[in-house]
Chains A and B, each alone.
Chain A
């Protein structure tokens, strides 16, 4: 019960952080899709590190629940990523940009996850 409450609260903090980051990117590059892309890469990296730490050091799964299911799930989102890709079709006149955006997000997210995961394994 308390873990669920913690998950919900940390998820809200993650979403608030992404909102601030979106505002910063909007002022900096006038593009939210770049902010969403960066958020998914960062969260994948952190998720990989966390999973490797749990796998190796056998840390408490509560930490994984709170950070991974809470904060990181609020910070990055499949829905936001997919909508950014779909709206790129409307903005940039073509689905090629959208497919390139989503494919690169998929491949780079996986790469960042494995960098985090195997990085900790190698360092250990």
Chain B
């Protein structure tokens, strides 16, 4: 039989006021964490964009242009895509326990703002003045394909694993190959 002023074991160890304070505190800490991440992203993006502007000034490949293509942007995009893929897979897949701040600073912001997506489309408007629509589409397609190939190369070099489509032997890998059937979640890299 319980006593009249019985409060329960959980209430003795953690009173309600403390719990409420803890919740508010974690929310405030989350907000603080987000703001610090945002500042890191801003600083890293400044670095990446400055690097891009410097390369555009000093590495002028317009003299080798073909139908007015700017090879400098392709060069920047390929390097940035490879670096971003490599960094993301290193931080998220191979070494997920590493410091998150470095991931945010280097890959989320610096490598991402380094590449020039819309400058490629701006080239289209210059090319548009010439009536060759095939060259126009081909220019963007080359940029897209090169970036996807190089970022995939970076991802697969950085993760150091075989692609998930290849079946591997061993009890540990058998579980991952059954992922689709048993509805288990994939790797938690956020994409």
Contacts and interface: CB of A to CB of B under 8 A. Distances in A.
Partners in one complex: yes
Interface of A: 4, 7-9, 11-16, 18-20, 23, 26, 31-33, 40, 43-44, 47-48, 51-52, 54-55, 64, 68-70, 72-74, 76-95, 98, 102, 105-106, 109-110, 113, 117
Contacts of B72: none
Contact of A26 (B115, B144, B150, B190): B190
Given A15-B44, A19-B109, 5 more contacts: A43-B117, A51-B125, A83-B81, A89-B164, A98-B152
Task: Choose among B83, B88, B112, B164 the residue with the greatest number of A CB atoms under 10 Å from its CB.
Answer: B112
Interface of B: 34, 37-38, 41-46, 48-50, 52-53, 57, 77, 80-81, 83-85, 88-89, 93, 108-109, 111-122, 124-125, 128, 137, 140-141, 143-144, 147-152, 154-156, 159, 163-165, 179-180, 186-187, 189-191
B120 to A, nearest CB: 8
A86 B125 contact: no
B13 to A, nearest CB: 32
The interface centre, meaning the residue of A7, A93, A94 with most chain B CB atoms within 10 A of its CB, is A93
A44 B186 CA distance: 31
A118 to B, nearest CB: 10
B186 A110 contact: no
Nearest to A70: B49
Given A83-B85, A86-B148, A47 B141 contact: no
B116 A73 contact: yes
